Structure 1
Amino acid sequence: MDWLMCVMMIILFAAVLVLLWKNYRIKKEAKSFAEKVEDALDAIVTGKEWNLEEELEDSLWGRTGTQLAKAGHVFRKKEEDGFREKERVKGLISDISHQTRTPIANIKLYLELLEDEEFSQNGQEFLEKIKGQVEKIDFLMQSMVKMSRLETGILQIHKEDQNLYETIRHAVADVVPEAALKGIDLYVNCEENMMIRHDSKWTEEAIYNILDNALKYTEPGGKIHIQTERQELFFKISISDTGKGIAPERQAEIFTRFYREPEVHDKPGVGIGLYLARTIMELQKGYIEVQSEMGKGACFRLYFPVNES
C-alpha cells in the first residue's frame, strides 16, 4: 500500500508540474500576443512600418496579425485620401477667396467713384443700398473662408502663453466705433498681466464675434460688460449684455451654422459668428456656454483649460 501511495503522489506531483508548466506557457504566449498586438496597433496609429511574423502560420497571432496588417493598409489608404482631399479643398478655398476678392474690391472702387457723380434722390438711395449689399457679400465670403479653413484644418490653432488682456483689448477696439454710435457703454474688468495659454489671433476673433452679436441686439443706451476670472481648472471670460435675450429653447441652436432667430432677420448678419466662436474654443480644448432670459440680456462664457498644452 505504501508503494501505491508513493506512485499516486508522484503522479499527482507530475500532474501539478504539467499544469503549472502549461499555465506558464499560456501566460507567456498571452503576454507575447498582447505585446505583438500593441506593437501592431502602435505602428498603425503612428504610420510606421512593421514586420508581420508568422503571417502565414495557422496560429492565433498569424490570423490576427494578417487582419491587423489589412486594417493598417486601409487606414493608411484613407489617411492618404484624406490628405489629398484636404489639399484639394485648400486649393479650392484659396481659389474662391482669390476669385471673389478682386471683383468685390473693384465694385467697391466703382461705388466710390460713383459717389462723386450727381444722382437723383432715388439714385442716391439705390447707391447706398448697393454699398450695403456689397459689404454683406464681402463679410459673408470672408466668414465662409474662415469657417472652411478652420473646419478642414487648413488654419491651425497655435497656443502660447500670451497676455489675455491684450487679446481682449484688440477685440474691444474693433467694436468701439459702433458702440459709440449706438451709445452703448463697454466695460472691461481684466488683470492687465493675466497670462494664459491661448491662440491670441483666433481668440480675438471669437471675442469679437460675441461682442458684435451683443451690439446688434442691444438697444441704444445699453451696456456690455467683459469680466475675466481665474478658476481652479479654467480661465473664464464672461461677456454680458443688456440686449433682448435668448429663449431657452434656442440657446443650443444659436451656435450652429447660419442660424438666425426668426425675429431678427432685419438685423445685419449671416449666422456664422457664434458658430466660429464655438469652433475656435473647441479647437483650444475649451468650450463656450450661454445663459439668458428673454428681455434680460445674455451672458456668454468662454472657458480655457488651465493646464492644457
Structure 2
Amino acid sequence: MKKRILGIMAILLAGIALAGCSSSASAEKKTINVGILQVVQHGSLDASRSGFKSELTKEIKAKHPKWNIKYNYQNAQGDQSNLSTMSQQIIQKKPALILGIGTPAAQGLGKKTKTTPIITTAVTDLKGAGLVKSNKKPDTNVTGTSDMGPVDKQLQLLKSMTKNTKPIGIMYNSSEENSLLQVQTAKKWATKNNIKLKIVAVTSTNDVQSALSTLKNKVSGLYIPTDNLMASSMKIVGKSTQKDNLPVVTGSIEMAKDGGTATYGINYNDLGKQAGKMAAKVILDKQKPQNMPVETSNVLRLYVNKAQAKSIGIDPSSIKQP
C-alpha cells in the first residue's frame, strides 16, 4: 500500500512538473503584434520607422529572446483618405500597441481607438494636434516623441552662412500644423533679432519650383522646417538653390542630406529609437501612455552636406555649431 501511495505521488509530481514546463514554454513563445501607420514615404519618416523597429525589437529580445514581434505596416502615401481605412484595418488586428508616424497618421489612429496604446513619432506638437491633454501628462491613450527642433539655433546657423543683408526666406506647407508652429517660432526669433523674413507657402509638390522662383535674388538664404511635403521635395530644392548659390538650412538631418546645406537638429532614426524605448515600457513594463510625458529628441547634431556646401561656394569646415 505504501509503495502504491508513493507511486501515485510520484506520478502527480511528474505531472505538475510537466505542466510547469509546458506553461513556462508557452510563456517564452509569444507573438507581439505591433501596428504602424505612416502618413507618407520619405527619408525622415522612413528613418524614424526603422529606428523604432530596431530599438523595440532589441528591447523585447533582451528580456524575452523567444518572443516574436510582428509588425503590421501601412503607408497612406500622402493620401488623407487612406488614413481612416488603414487605421481601422490596423486596429481590427488587435495589436498590443500602434505607432503613428506623422501628425495625420497619429490623428487618424486617435479617432479610431481610445484604448489601444498609441506611440507617435515625427509629430511636432501633440497637444496642438489634439492627441494629448498635456505634454507632461497626456491623459489619453497617446504619447510619443516630438520632432520639434531648435528653430532659433537653425536660423542662427543659416544667418552665419549668408553673405548679404537680404531677408531670410522660409518655405513651408501651410496645411501642416507642425509647419505653422515652426514658422510662428521663426517669426518671433526674427522680430527679436531684427531680421527680415520673406515667407512663401506651398500646398503640393507641384508648387515648390514656382515658389522657389519667387524667392530668386530676393533672399540671402532659405530655411525649411520639418515638413512632410517639403521633405518629399528636397531634391527639387537642392537643384534649384545650387544654381542660385543659396544656402539652405533644414529642420532635420535627413532633409539636409537630400538637398540642404546644413542643419543643427534631430536625426529621425534617433527619434524613432527613442519612441521604440517608450513602446517597450508600455509592452514590457505595462506603463500607460496616459502617464508618460511626451519626449523631445535626446540628441541634436550639426550636419553639413559637404557636396552641397562646396557647390554654392561655402567651405564646409567654416560651418560651425550655433
Q: Fold conserved (TM > 0.5)?
A: no
Greater relative contact order (CA < 8 Å, ≥ 6 in sequence):
2
Q: TM-score range by the shorter chain?
A: under 0.3
- TM-score normalised by L of structure 1: 0.21
Q: Which has the larger radius of gyration?
A: 1
- TM-score normalised by L of structure 2: 0.21
The answer to which structure has the higher helix fraction is 1
